[in-house]
Amino acid sequence: MSVEIASKDKKPKAAATARAESGRRYRGVSEEVRRTERRQRFIEAGLDVFGGRGYHSSTVRSICASAGLTERYFYESFENSEDLLCAVYHACVQRLREHMLAALIEVPKEPELMARIALYQVFECVREDPRLARILFVEILGVSHRVDALYRTSVADFSGLLVRLVLPMLGDSKLPEPLDADILANALIGAIVTSAGRWLLLEFRTPIDTVVENLHMIFTCVIRQMISVADAHSSSAG
């Protein structure tokens, strides 16, 4: 037990040696390219290990075993296992975001339709890869102040994306004070995160259509009310 814990965060001196080899080429491939490839292998291993056994039950040694690389190469790219967790989480967020936005490209700019499709894409993505769901909604929570800050930034980014999608639907109308689009969007993202975490813990037993339909009702009610209130405010102001 003590050996494993020590292995999790101790940075070996060999990392300096690995960095010193940056100018070497092997079979025509530069060290920079090989380092990038090794980093990606560790991120994929982190997805497997953190998303399988959990972050707190993992060690650098188990990550290296999964990646098929030595600890020397781990510390070439990451300070410790928390550093890797942040990289894995970032990769999961990007994957989820790209999956959702790709589905919305050809969709008519109709708020209720966009909300339904976006919600379905989110839940389909996490159902297809429970490792991703576990990292996004479980393993990222309560690790450290640094990881908490990363999580909050991610939620804020998705809230901002939602605001950018909804505000154009208001046209020239604006929400009256004290209503705030950022707060409303953050509440909607919170509903998704909470529901997705619960769905994961229930092992996806609830049909995806049921989960999406219930969340869609929340989104629809909020979006309709936002548009209605903004229009009424603009009419009274005019």
Cβ proximity of 173 and 234 under 8 Å = yes
Greater confidence (54 vs 166) lies with 54
SS3 (DSSP) at 30: strand
Q: In which element (H, E) is residue 25 found?
A: strand 25-26
pTM of the complete model: 0.82
At residue 66 the predicted structure's pLDDT band, cuts being 50, 70 and 90, is very high
Mean pLDDT of the 65-88 span: 96
Say what percent of the chain tops pLDDT 90: 58
Greater confidence (225 vs 65) lies with 65
Cβ proximity of 166 and 185 under 8 Å = yes
> Domains of the chain, with CATH numbers?
2-79 (1.10.10.60), 82-237 (1.10.357.10)
pLDDT in tens, 185-226: 999 999 999 999 999 999 999 999 999 999 999 998 998 888
Tokens matching residue 76? 């070439």
Cβ proximity of 136 and 96 under 8 Å = yes
φ, ψ for residue 173, nearest 5 deg: -75, 155
Cβ proximity of 122 and 194 under 8 Å = no
pLDDT in tens, 90-146: 999 999 999 888 888 888 878 788 889 999 999 999 999 999 999 999 999 999 999
φ, ψ for residue 25, nearest 5 deg: -120, 145
Cβ count within 10 A of residue 80: 14
Tokens matching residue 43? 């991120």
Longest alpha-carbon distance in the chain? 72
The pLDDT mean for the chain works out to 86
Q: Which residue has the tokens 């619960």?
A: 198
At residue 238 the predicted structure's pLDDT band, cuts being 50, 70 and 90, is low
What amino acid is encoded at 225 in this protein? Q
